[in-house]
Amino acid sequence: MRIAITGSTGLIGTELVRSLRADGHDVVRLVRRPPAAADEVRWDPRRQEVDVAGLAGCEAVVHLAGAGVGDHRWTAAYKREIRDSRVLGTKALATALASLDAPPRVFVCGSAIGYYGDTGDRRTDESGAPGTGFLPDVCVAWEDAAGPAREAGIRTVFARTGLVVGRSGGAWGKLFPVFRLGLGGRLGDGSQYWSFISLQDHIAALRHLIDTESLTGPVNLTAPEPVTNREATAVMGKFLHRPTLFTVPAPVLRVALGEFADDVLASQRIIPRRLLDSGFAFTHPRIMDAVRAA
């Protein structure tokens, strides 16, 4: 199968490319610079430009590109970058796919469980309404931007991703060095739920979305049993053989992270109902399995 991917150099994109190629698939990578290899196709989300000819013959497109939510302090300019990188990129790609004489059969568009906002202790599946605040608003606009693909009859799936447990990147990648130094601990009071997924399960789930014709619309990519920050902290300490005595009080987080601290402290108890109902089997369903794998 010929598959196009944006965000191919990120934590998830890199592993997805490797997985697909290992199984013999032809992978095309969309890049924002002049192509330097035969497998690269140029696109410019801000200018709404995509080399449509390079997408010819693709049966699936996986869109993972977007500025990192936790990479910088949330200034007005960076919040605009977070939103534009997702909304403009999705709109450009969806419009390009809709224009093809032979469009792909599936468009897997990245999204996030930030869609739901703070759910507290409430178990929330894909039927949950959007929350309020910056990240929920971004996720709603992000998914709406895929409209041209849906209207063209392309099966469009929104991969609402949780916290990916990986060693080399993402939110969890930043935690491992801190815990190895013995400086890990709870964030706030630690009662907030973290909806995680191992990197390996995330890649398998993305491939499941590509292959499962019955899946369309939002699908939560999280493990079936979310844990509290306190529980995740204990597991990290156990497997890295380090103490977890430190805590970062909420006021300190707000000074350090600004507005983003409220999302770090938010509780999201998200359940992958549609993934489970479609027959997906997790390799690392528990937090201890995911941390051990990473």
* pLDDT reading at 136 higher than 90: yes
Domain assignment of residue 247, yes or no? no
Domain assignment of residue 11, yes or no? yes
At residue 78, the pLDDT reads: 94
Contact 69, 110 (CB under 8 A): no
Give me the domain span that covers residue 132: 2-164+196-222+269-282
pLDDT per residue as tens digits for the range 153-211 = 999 999 999 999 998 888 888 888 888 888 888 999 999 999 999 999 999 999 999 99
HSE toward the beta carbon, residue 134, CA cutoff 13 A: 18
The predicted model scores a pTM of 0.95
Contact 164, 246 (CB under 8 A): no
Domain assignment of residue 231, yes or no? no
Domain assignment of residue 87, yes or no? yes
Total count of domains within the chain: 1
Domain assignment of residue 146, yes or no? yes
At residue 173, the pLDDT reads: 84
Domain assignment of residue 150, yes or no? yes
pLDDT per residue as tens digits for the range 80-127 = 999 999 999 999 999 999 999 999 999 999 999 999 999 999 999 999
Taking CA atoms, 141 is separated from 62, 115, 156, 228, 274, in Å, by: 18, 10, 15, 29, 22
pLDDT per residue as tens digits for the range 264-293 = 889 999 999 999 999 999 999 999 999 999
At residue 256, the pLDDT reads: 67
pLDDT per residue as tens digits for the range 238-258 = 999 999 888 888 887 787 677
Domain assignment of residue 10, yes or no? yes
Any idea what the CATH number is for the domain that residue 151 is in? Answer: 3.40.50.720
Domain assignment of residue 209, yes or no? yes
| CA 193/CA 80 separation, integer angstroms | 27
